[in-house]
Structure 1
Amino acid sequence: MEKALSRRREDYKVLCGTCPDEQCRAKLFFPAYDKSIECTSCGQRHEKSTLQNIAEVTNPSVALHNILKNILLGNVKPKKGPDNVKVLGLSNYVCKLVSPILTRYGMCKKTGKAQLLTELGQPPVFDCGKILGDRAFVIDEENLSITGYGRDKSGSLKYLSGTLDVIKDVNDGEERLVAIHADGDGHCLVHAVSRALVGRELFWHALRVNLMNHFTENLDKYKDLFKDFVDRDEWNDIIQECHPEFCPRDGEPLGLRNIHVFGLANVLRRPIILLDSIEGMQSSGDYSAVFLPGLIKPEECKSKDGTLNKPICIAWSSVGRNHYISLVGIKGKPPPKLPRYMIQKTWGMPSTLLDKYIELDEYGHCIVGGDKCLSDKYLRHLVSAMEEVYFEKHGVHQQLVADVHQFMYKTSGMKHYLTEYLCLKKDEN
């Protein structure tokens, strides 16, 4: 009996600890029996063992105050969704918010401040191929469980299991290629591509603008190449669908398609591999394929070290094939490889061109992504510089916009709370 009481007292102790995210470091209070704790600041959920500086809160008043605060906030404050969870100081929502600014602004190396690209001696629109053509994102294994950043939770875990198992076998039985989250807001293709390149949805806007300009400038080439598959009067719609603010007419499907994936491969001057379930890849449909930058000469698809830009990989997340996600490598592990038979089907170009744009190892395997990554520190500085421009343009800080998005436009939480509060005030009067 005494042991049971002692165990119960241990369970109901209040502990405090520090959020392990290096850009958050919030102090958290929680009951000792909790196995995982959601950070009240960044929104990530952490295993208790990963928290830092864990200690018992011995002051009963402090313990009671903070536990009650957590309960009250839990009933009023909406949970952070995938777009609001912060990882290393950045959330998807903020990255998407500053993305249009990145299309026309860059960061001065000397001052660290944002300037128009033209003032930096560059073209007026960010050149995705020149800057990002050889970049690739690899994810920290410890971040794979983070909602909205790590493993995709839209259904791909089951849908792509067979495909990922085959890839695992090719990679010495080790998981080296993982399906990660991409926001499903109508821009999922460019979100997935942006995440495959830099790990963040920072370049969705620039990718769309680059794609629209690419189709416009090369329209005659496209019309000739696809004359047997695309009606000439369809091209205007294909180009309009690239626009960042494109809204489909009622009854039309939302989202970009294979012709746009092909265009993006040419924009980036690197192949894009689209994977599907085993059944999908074995079917006669074009659910999976290799999209080669076939309108660009192979020698123009090389990085500074003279090697061909390595392919990036995206996939369908479910049998509905209406949502793209990224497939990326894991930091600290060898780059993931794909077997030759998974990349035999080229889209829009002869398969004989495959070897001109993709380097294979002695076993016929293709390396995905590579290891030329933009650092988290650089990306934070870049976003910070763009936030200043955002404030100058709109007169409001982007974090306030993000907070309004979280608190006012969620189906629960503060929106519901404010409605009830205003009703009570009306009744009082």
Structure 2
Amino acid sequence: MTTEGKIKVLCGSCPDGQCQAKLFFPSYDTSIECTSCGQRHERRFLKNVQEVSNPGVALHNMIKNILVSNVMPKRGAEMVKVLGLSNYHCKLLSPLLTYYGMEKKSGKAVLLREMNQGDMFDCSLLGDRAFLLDPEHISVVGYGRDVSGSMSYLSGTLEQIKMYNDGEERLIPIHADGDGHCLVHAVSRALVGRELFWHPLRCNLKTHFEQNLDEYKKLFRDFIADQEWKAIIDECDPDFIPPENELLGLRNIHIFGLANVLKRPIVLLDSLAGMQSLGDYAALFLPAMVTPEECCSRDGLLHKPLCLAWSSHGHNHYIALVGVRKRSLPRLPKSLVPKVWGVPQGLIDKYVKFEDNNCCILGGDRTLGDSYVLRLAKAMEEVFWKRYGVHPELIADVHQYVYRRTGIVGVKPQMVVQATQKSIQEQRLYRCLTCDAICEVIVVSEWLKPGGTLYKTATQNHGQLQQDKLYSFPMQGVICRYDGSRDELIPDFSREALEKCTWCQGTQMRLVNGDGTARYRNGDRTKTRSKSTLCNCGFKHYWDGKEYDNIPLELPVVLEWNNKVVRDTVLWFQNESDLSLNSNVYDVASAVVQKHFPGVFGSERLLQRVVDQILEQTKDHTKDQGKGPPVDGATCHMTETAQKLIIGGAGILHKEELGVSKTERGIQRQIAEKVSKQQQKFTDKVKAKRGALKSDRTASPPSRSSSSSSPTASPTERTARETRSETTSPSGSPSKGSFVRVVTSDGQQARMQLRPEGITFIQLQTWIQEKFGVEPAQQRVKWGFPLRELKPSCEEQENSLVPLAHGDKVTVEVQPIIISEPQEITETLAVAGPSLSSSSLDSEVTKFDMLKQ
């Protein structure tokens, strides 16, 4: 209780490694049942237990758990999941283990015959294995301690055994399903802890009797008549159904056969009164049909006995008794070992090793690890899926929520598989996203005909039924079409019509796929855990085939182009743990532009305006939110991705057209508007100054300081300096790695490193000549977007700085040389003056692959 008298609410995670469901419970609870796997855990075993600080969240989850637990069917012993596997799940996979094995390297299931291991699994390979129960699983119903009454019935025997084990409980009776296979279930659990091998054990037992029938008849001729052996062998079959009113089942002769199949002794215990009676309810079954040498492990030691017991006075249900992990192995004193069954008593010392204290060890410590068992189950699940088209976990859910709801018990698993297959094909199975229950739409054919329930409802609500008109029945979860020729309703299961969950009355109902997953809609919560702190549900959300940590933002954008205004909303994902799922501003903007203005040439500016709108809105939202991962992480990822080429309309938009600053875009517009006028202005002065320029050709080119400080510097030069200022560091030098991309019309391309003081047009020409072998007279240089020619208006400007900035693309069209005008070529070369070494301009020029257009 808190100081205010209110109940303190705690939350913690289920300790099961495959479940880890988040559980809410009042602080006074010491035992909590998991609403997901069905296990009940002591509070000390829960993980990450802490007080819930948000009372609203705590109240919501507690009420939900209470309501769900009140309306949902309780998970029976066979449905409780431990590490993701229930007994029912294991029983479904068991028939596959009879004929399939797991390849070690790949972990895939392969037919045993393809692995040269025979047609059937040899259960004697498990002869030295034993299951040890984890202490935290002792109280788990259906997996740990048996709760069918065996603890009371066997209490005297267990107390006697406890005395020989230092007063410690080391031998615990555990659950085995009572579905007619309890003997092989108990043996399988004693071997590996799961009921995975009940089917192989039965098949091995039947084959063993058939192959050694003459020896068995000879050994038991005084106890079993020859005509009884057919029934004994038939009872071993996994699909055996006893005749009506006859109580046939596996009994002592079958236990003796299993001891020989496994090549290890089996001890069958009973209550103290039963063990002291003259009956053979308690016995020691020795593998006398094989030699003692065959009953040894690789170390040469005899296999330790398995231990079974009766669970009640009725002697109609077998259970296994196993040791506990992290405790000493259980010992059974020779005084409590029952008499040997079927063979001479003197054989006991040949098959059972007794220690100096006259006790034998039960089970042993050679366990099959949980990880291996889970891998084995997963391999068999893939085979099950390929064979039946449905997942075994879905079969288990159908059995839990559909058959147990109707009170039908004893249904063979194969019948449930067939019914599930049909329901999936007809799209009649739904999953509730609120309580995770399975609901099936059931429609009886009589309901659809005149006088039937649905027919009456339709006529009462709609009057005369019309041909091919659809009629909805929300209560039954079905939509029907009226067939006038047959005068009956025809169900249309392809249309989702189930509106409410049968169990919790939730409204989030989704059709189920064969693998058990729901057919999610955008925004639905999935089963995948999320570490996001922005969404309180703790799970990821589905959107367009992917799972996200957070629900996307809905951002309104306005597109205006050619006197057409369109308003739309785009989805924006950010703060995702998987950075690749964060939205890319250019991808989002490109998609919405192409949606409304497909194939429009020159829509790059429209794309830029959409980008600006998105960035402005996401910036404000992140600033106000103040929670979760910093938006810089998402922005950095977005910017790096956006540097690739983006297709916009019929043209190709480069990163420099969208990722530049406002200042750079302003400079580019000024260049586009003014450079042509300035070039025309200087063209008028060309003839007047040509003579003067020729006389001054031997003069050195103007220095960097004089050109930069000259008040008469050309607009092009001033623009170049302003542009470079945007890409230089505070110290005045260009940012590391500043370059332009140069491409020739004949397919050559390279990168030219920009110098701190800039580059003149004549230096650019010289670099192109040395890099590509193109003479200046053949060069027609273009740049910018759209492409426009880059050239000085007169020879005076050839030594002026060109307006190139980091990321620009320069195109060189190779022109043919006109031989008829050698004078002009000579003059051009003379104007160039001393050439500048390309190595001094760019020491790191490298060839690179063309970007994907």
The TM-score, its normalising length taken from structure 2, stands at 0.48
Q: Structure 2 counterpart of 1:6, which letter?
A: T
2:97 to 92, 97, 102: 102
Residue of structure 1 in register with 2:312 after alignment: 318
Q: For residues 172-200 of structure 1, what are the alpha-carbon distances to aligned partners after superposition, in whole Å with 9 as ceiling and x for unaligned?
A: 22111111111111100000000111111
CA distance in structure 1 between the aligned counterparts of 2:477 and 2:215, rounded to whole angstroms? 68
Give yes or no for the alignment of 1:180 onto 2:177. Answer: no
1:229 to 210, 223, 230: 223
CA distance in structure 2 between the aligned counterparts of 1:299 and 1:282, rounded to whole angstroms? 32
2:375 to 354, 377, 381: 381
- Of stretches 278-287 and 47-56 in structure 1, the one that deviates more from structure 2 is 47-56
Q: Structure 1 counterpart of 2:337, which letter?
A: I
Residue of structure 2 in register with 1:249 after alignment: 243
The 5 Å alignment of 1:17-32 reads 17-32=12-27
Residue of structure 2 in register with 1:42 after alignment: 37
Shift, 1:412, TM fit: 6.8
Residue of structure 2 in register with 1:87 after alignment: 82
Q: Find the residue that maps to 1:88 and give its secondary structure.
A: coil
Q: Find the residue that maps to 1:172 and give its secondary structure.
A: coil
Residue of structure 1 in register with 2:65 after alignment: 70
CA distance in structure 1 between the aligned counterparts of 2:262 and 2:400, rounded to whole angstroms? 34
Q: Find the residue that maps to 1:396 and give its secondary structure.
A: coil
Q: Compare CA radii of gyration and give the structure with the larger one.
A: 2
Residue of structure 2 in register with 1:115 after alignment: 110
2:347 to 347, 353, 364: 353
CA distance in structure 1 between the aligned counterparts of 2:477 and 2:296, rounded to whole angstroms? 69
Q: Is the contact made by 1:136 and 1:371 (CA closer than 8 Å) also made in structure 2? A: yes
- Of stretches 83-92 and 378-387 in structure 1, the one that deviates more from structure 2 is 83-92
CA distance in structure 1 between the aligned counterparts of 2:55 and 2:406, rounded to whole angstroms? 32
1:263 to 244, 257, 271: 257
Residue of structure 1 in register with 2:475 after alignment: 425
The 3 A distance-change label for structure 1 pair 15 and 114 is same
Q: For residues 89-124 of structure 1, what are the alpha-carbon distances to aligned partners after superposition, in whole Å with 9 as ceiling and x for unaligned?
A: 211111111000001000001111000011111011
Shift, 1:73, TM fit: 1.7
Q: Is the contact made by 2:401 and 2:438 (CA closer than 8 Å) also made in structure 1? A: yes
Q: For residues 187-238 of structure 1, what are the alpha-carbon distances to aligned partners after superposition, in whole Å with 9 as ceiling and x for unaligned?
A: 0000000011111111000000000000000000011111111110000000
Q: Structure 1 counterpart of 2:224, which letter?
A: V
Q: Is the contact made by 1:292 and 1:354 (CA closer than 8 Å) also made in structure 2? A: yes
Q: Structure 1 counterpart of 2:56, which letter?
A: S
- Of stretches 168-177 and 348-357 in structure 1, the one that deviates more from structure 2 is 168-177
1:409 to 403, 406, 416: 403
Q: Is the contact made by 1:35 and 1:48 (CA closer than 8 Å) also made in structure 2? A: yes
Q: Structure 2 counterpart of 1:425, which letter?
A: M
Runs of 5+ consecutive residues of structure 1 not aligned to the other structure: none
CA distance in structure 2 between the aligned counterparts of 1:416 and 1:137, rounded to whole angstroms? 37
CA distance in structure 2 between the aligned counterparts of 1:236 and 1:65, rounded to whole angstroms? 62
Q: Is the contact made by 2:128 and 2:303 (CA closer than 8 Å) also made in structure 1? A: yes
CA distance in structure 1 between the aligned counterparts of 2:276 and 2:147, rounded to whole angstroms? 24
How many matched pairs? 421
Give yes or no for the alignment of 1:204 onto 2:204. Answer: no
Q: Structure 1 counterpart of 2:396, which letter?
A: A
Shift, 1:34, TM fit: 2.8
- Of stretches 268-277 and 62-71 in structure 1, the one that deviates more from structure 2 is 62-71
CA distance in structure 1 between the aligned counterparts of 2:478 and 2:101, rounded to whole angstroms? 54
Q: Find the residue that maps to 2:41 and give its secondary structure.
A: strand
CA distance in structure 1 between the aligned counterparts of 2:43 and 2:337, rounded to whole angstroms? 42
Q: Find the residue that maps to 1:234 and give its secondary structure.
A: helix
Q: Is the contact made by 1:78 and 1:412 (CA closer than 8 Å) also made in structure 2? A: no
CA distance in structure 1 between the aligned counterparts of 2:60 and 2:303, rounded to whole angstroms? 56
Residue of structure 1 in register with 2:754 after alignment: none
Residue of structure 1 in register with 2:139 after alignment: 145
- Of stretches 51-60 and 104-113 in structure 1, the one that deviates more from structure 2 is 51-60
The 5 Å alignment of 1:45-64 reads 45-64=40-59
Q: Is the contact made by 1:344 and 1:351 (CA closer than 8 Å) also made in structure 2? A: no
Give yes or no for the alignment of 1:279 onto 2:273. Answer: yes
CA distance in structure 2 between the aligned counterparts of 1:116 and 1:305, rounded to whole angstroms? 30
Give yes or no for the alignment of 1:8 onto 2:58. Answer: no
Residue of structure 2 in register with 1:297 after alignment: 291
The 3 A distance-change label for structure 1 pair 399 and 416 is closer
Q: Is the contact made by 1:163 and 1:276 (CA closer than 8 Å) also made in structure 2? A: yes
Q: Find the residue that maps to 1:90 and give its secondary structure.
A: coil
Shift, 1:84, TM fit: 1.1
CA distance in structure 2 between the aligned counterparts of 1:143 and 1:260, rounded to whole angstroms? 30
The TM-score, its normalising length taken from structure 1, stands at 0.94
As a proportion of its length, which structure holds more helix?
A: 1
Shift, 1:254, TM fit: 4.2
The 3 A distance-change label for structure 1 pair 122 and 8 is same
CA distance in structure 2 between the aligned counterparts of 1:292 and 1:196, rounded to whole angstroms? 17
Residue of structure 2 in register with 1:154 after alignment: 148
Give yes or no for the alignment of 1:128 onto 2:178. Answer: no
CA distance in structure 1 between the aligned counterparts of 2:307 and 2:152, rounded to whole angstroms? 18
Shift, 1:426, TM fit: 6.3
Q: Is the contact made by 2:285 and 2:340 (CA closer than 8 Å) also made in structure 1? A: yes
Q: Is the contact made by 2:99 and 2:119 (CA closer than 8 Å) also made in structure 1? A: yes
Shift, 1:428, TM fit: 13
CA distance in structure 1 between the aligned counterparts of 2:87 and 2:118, rounded to whole angstroms? 27
Q: With a CA cutoff of 8 Å and minimum separation of 6, indicate the structure with the bigger relative contact order.
A: 1
The 3 A distance-change label for structure 1 pair 264 and 75 is same
Q: Is the contact made by 1:186 and 1:254 (CA closer than 8 Å) also made in structure 2? A: no
Q: CA RMSD in A?
A: 2.2
Shift, 1:35, TM fit: 2.8
Shift, 1:170, TM fit: 1.1
Q: Structure 2 counterpart of 1:353, which letter?
A: L
Q: For residues 19-61 of structure 1, what are the alpha-carbon distances to aligned partners after superposition, in whole Å with 9 as ceiling and x for unaligned?
A: 1112211111223333322111111111223222122333343
The 3 A distance-change label for structure 1 pair 15 and 174 is closer
Identity %: 61
Give yes or no for the alignment of 1:392 onto 2:386. Answer: yes
Q: Structure 1 counterpart of 2:270, which letter?
A: D
CA distance in structure 1 between the aligned counterparts of 2:112 and 2:344, rounded to whole angstroms? 37
Residue of structure 1 in register with 2:676 after alignment: none
CA distance in structure 2 between the aligned counterparts of 1:225 and 1:427, rounded to whole angstroms? 63
- Of stretches 51-60 and 171-180 in structure 1, the one that deviates more from structure 2 is 51-60
The 3 A distance-change label for structure 1 pair 259 and 28 is same
CA distance in structure 2 between the aligned counterparts of 1:283 and 1:36, rounded to whole angstroms? 41
Q: Structure 1 counterpart of 2:40, which letter?
A: R
